[in-house]
A and B are shown apart, each in its own frame.
Chain A
């Protein structure tokens, strides 16, 4: 375990980190039982800080809250069935998983990321990271994922409220020289080009103005500008 990552245990336990850092540290803990133990202890310690500020709420609140829970349906434990009510907490956890995937993708596609960073100034990168975090954390975020023939998967997170989405490609087949993966939204009767990735692992933020029902990845020749998808590698239904 890298000591540098591990020093984040305190801020993580206080929940004083951003979404990307939270996902990264959660991934770290999955491989480090001692760290998970330390964080659980520090979280329990942080909870004691609430003792210090305890103030009795107004007396009417008890009845109000108990009245509300009588009309509030409870969600079940974590399950993978898509039909389950989409509570915010559920999406938060899914979002964290996707954020972790983004981090993994960023690590695996080091070359692409470094290349990107050379041409993009730090301010734009920071703005993008915060938009990605906002999409992943949006209350209405939907996560759709499809495996790709030949290997890897395409994961798409969209928020109708924000009209933004994030596509995460992981481990798609290596491209032939001069080829790229092109990303598309497919509103009815249209094809909207929303980005290009030079490798099978990477992520792309996009704007989804019309709530397109379908997302697609195609393989294209870098030299040929395209307005419609060539070889569609995978479609992802978004609704």
Chain B
């Protein structure tokens, strides 16, 4: 499953079109020092993605607004604890937002109830494609997602956008746990190579 190591993943050291990762890192460092103007710039850069992601997970606009605010305030509060040597600023920030969103969903309803509901409703990839606009980076992610196998794509989008653990994904897809584990990893590796993402 893993593409050959000579595939062009290190092209990613040149930021993808529209990618603003270095700048985000820098903004976060300034935010950590209490720079409110930097936080404003960071807000402008990430708020649509944070709001979109949270909305995708909680599936309710009013709650998504609340959770997005909480998550962004948390980013302000804990910015000093972001460790650039361990991961990208965007990854850190979206993890905070996604966890908040998942906490909200879990406190709203029993997990079993949610599994039952989403099992019948969830068609993440189609919805995602439908909503994607023509922005360049979105097109790139969309194209790369299309390059995955169906199971890889489902495992990743259900976990990420659905806020499910891989165990829940296995249950929802009625697929063996080790299969979901490996497909998730293989799919992400393929996505990484397609997007040319690198780190460090």
Contact = CB atoms under 8 A, between A and B. Distances in A.
Pairing of A with B = yes
Contact of A41 (B65, B161, B165, B199): B199
A73 interface: yes
The secondary-structure label for the interface of chain A is helix
Contacts of A41: 192, 197-199
A195 interface: no
B130 to A, nearest CB: 11
B40 interface: yes
A86 to B, nearest CB: 12
B48 A44 contact: no
Nearest to B55: A55
Contacts of A211: none
Contacts of A17: 165-166
Interface residues of B, number: 76
Interface residues of A, number: 52
B81 A10 contact: no
A65 B73 contact: yes
Interface in B172-196: 178, 180-189, 191-192, 195
B78 A44 contact: no
A43 B132 CA distance: 21
A42 B56 CA distance: 20
A10 B77 CA distance: 28
A50 B94 contact: yes
Contacts of B30: none
The secondary-structure label for the interface of chain B is helix
A1 interface: no
Interface stretch (A56-64, A107-115, A140-148): A56-64
A10 B88 contact: no
Interface string A1-16: 0000001111101111
B28 interface: no
Interface string B78-113: 111100001110110011101100000000000000
A16 B197 contact: no
A16 B169 contact: yes
A77 B188 contact: no
B36 A69 contact: yes
B184 A10 contact: yes
Given A73-B77, A75-B77, A53 B131 contact: yes
Interface string A24-55: 00000000000011011111111111111111
Contact of A74 (B55, B76, B99): B76
Nearest to B181: A7
Contact of A55 (B52, B80, B159, B184): B52
B165 A11 contact: yes
Nearest to B76: A69
A75 B31 CA distance: 12
B34 A45 contact: no
A42 B78 contact: no
B59 to A, nearest CB: 12
* Nearest 3 Cβ contacts at the A-B interface: A10-B185, A10-B184, A16-B159
Interface of B: 21, 32, 34, 36, 39-40, 43-44, 47-53, 55-56, 65, 68-69, 72-74, 76-81, 86-88, 90-91, 94-96, 98-99, 128, 131-132, 135, 137-138, 141-142, 145, 156-157, 159-161, 164-167, 169, 178, 180-189, 191-192, 195, 197-200
12 contacts: A9-B185, A11-B165, A16-B184, A17-B165, A40-B88, A48-B191, A52-B131, A53-B161, A55-B48, A62-B43, A69-B39, A75-B77
Interface of A: 7-11, 13-18, 36-37, 39-58, 61-62, 64-66, 68-70, 72-78, 87-90
